[in-house]
Amino acid sequence: LVSAFVTSRRRAAPTQTLAVLTKFNYPLFENLHRTDLFSAELLAGLRHQADELGFRLEEFPVNLPGSPDGHTLTRVLLARGIRGVLLFPSGDLSMAFPELDWTHFAVVAAGFHSKHLPVHRTAMDQGRAVETCIARLQARGLRRIALGVTRQLDPRWNYTASGRFFAWQCGQPLKDRVPVIPGDHEHPLPHEVNKWLQRYRPDAVIGYQYYPEYAADLARDHDHEVLAVVIEATERTDCYRLDPQLRHLGRTSVNVLARELFINHYGLPAIPEVTFISGLWLEPGQTAAARPAAKLATTAPLAP
C-alpha cells in the first residue's frame, strides 16, 4: 500500500530528498571501501528502496570537523525542503545525534543507537535469531550451548540476544549452563576466547564470524569439537550462520519513513514503534539467494 501510494504521488511531484545522518569519522557514502559489511549492506538496502519509492538519499555526517550543530542542521534541512530523516547506526557509539527541532521532521532510526530519542525504529531481531540457533542446535542433540557476545556489543542490540539466551538457559540443568564470554571490547580478544572455550568446553557457541576458526583450533589442539554459529554479517559461507538480512532492514527503514511522510506525521511520536527483521538460517555452503522459501519458518521448538 505504501509503495502504491508513493508511486502515485511521485508522478506529479519532484523527487524528495531523505537526510541520512551518520556518525563515522569519514563520509560514508563516498568511502564504502573503508566501512564494514554491516554498513555497506544496510546502505544498499536503503538506496534500493529509496530508488523504488522515488526518493533521493543524501548523507549528512555529524562527526566530522565543522559538522553543524542541531540548530544549524535544522535550518539547512528546512531550507532544502528535506522533511525525512534516517538515523544510521554504527560510527562513534559514544556520540549522540544532534538535537534537531524534531517538530519539523519525520524520523526513523535503524537500530537502537541514541536510545534516548523516542523515535520509530527498525532493528534486527536478535532475540529471534538466538532462539532459532538454539532450536537448530538442540535438534542436533547439542546441550551445552554458549553465547559469545560481549558486554560491549549486547547493548547495541538492546540486550535482545542475551535476554533470549538467558531466558532459555534458566531452564537448563546447571551442568549445561555456560557463562557468557567476558571482555569489555566489542569483539573479545583471542586469548579471552581461547581461555573461555578451554575452560567451559561448550558443545556449540553462537557469536562472531571468527568463532569457526577458534572452534577448529580447539578441536585440533585439545580434542574437543565445538559447533560455531555466526549471527553477524559475514561473507563466509563455510559455516552455520543466521544471516541478519541487512538489505531488508534498509528497505524496511525507508518504508517506515515513507509512511510517516505521506501521512504527515512530523515530530517525535507519542508511541514509538519498533519493526523487527527476522534473520535467515543458512547451512554451510548455502547462500541466502539459494535458500528455499518454503523452509524459512521451519524451526524446532525450544526445549524447556
Grid coordinates given for 157: 542490540
Which pLDDT value is given to residue 11?
Answer: 55
Determine the Cα–Cα distance for residues 251 and 159; give it in Å rounded to an integer: 24
The answer on pLDDT for 12 being more than 70 is no
How far are the Cα atoms of 102, 108, 273, 287 from residue 118, in angstroms, in the given order?
Answer: 11, 10, 9, 36
* pLDDT given for residue 140 in this prediction: 95
Task: Indicate the DSSP class of residue 303.
Answer: P
pTM metric for this prediction: 0.87
List the Cα angle 59/61/65 in 5-degree steps: 150
pLDDT at 290: 60
Residue 5 has pLDDT above 80, yes or no: no
What average pLDDT score do residues 13-33 get? 89
| Residues 168-182 pLDDT 10s | 999 999 999 999 887
Residues 6 or more apart whose CB falls under 8 angstroms from that of 181 comprise 146, 147, 148, 149, 150, 188, 192, 193, 196, 207
Q: Give the Å distances, CA to CA, from 101 to 37, 69, 70, 186.
A: 32, 11, 7, 33
15: pLDDT strictly greater than 50: yes
Q: For the segment 51-69, what is each residue's pLDDT rounded down to a tens digit?
A: 999 999 999 999 999 999 9
**Residue 229 CB coordination number (10 Å):** 26
* pLDDT above 60 (res 295): no
Give the position of cell 538466538. Answer: 130
In percent, the amount of the chain with pLDDT more than 70 equals 90
**98-120 mean pLDDT:** 93
Task: Please name the residues in contact with 8: beta carbons below 8 A apart, sequence gap of 6 or more.
Answer: none
139 and 203 Cβ atoms separated by less than 8 Å: no
Average pLDDT over residues 10-31: 85
Q: Which residues pair with 204 in a beta bridge?
A: 145, 227
Extract the C-alpha cell encoding 32: 564504502
Average pLDDT, the chain: 89
The predicted model gives 161-169 an average pLDDT of 94
Give pLDDT tens digits for 186-236. 788 888 899 999 999 999 999 989 999 988 988 888 899 999 999 999 999
Q: How sure is the predictor about 299, in pLDDT bands with cuts at 50, 70 and 90?
A: very low
> Taking Cα atoms as reference points, which of 126, 79, 88 lies closest to residue 107?
88
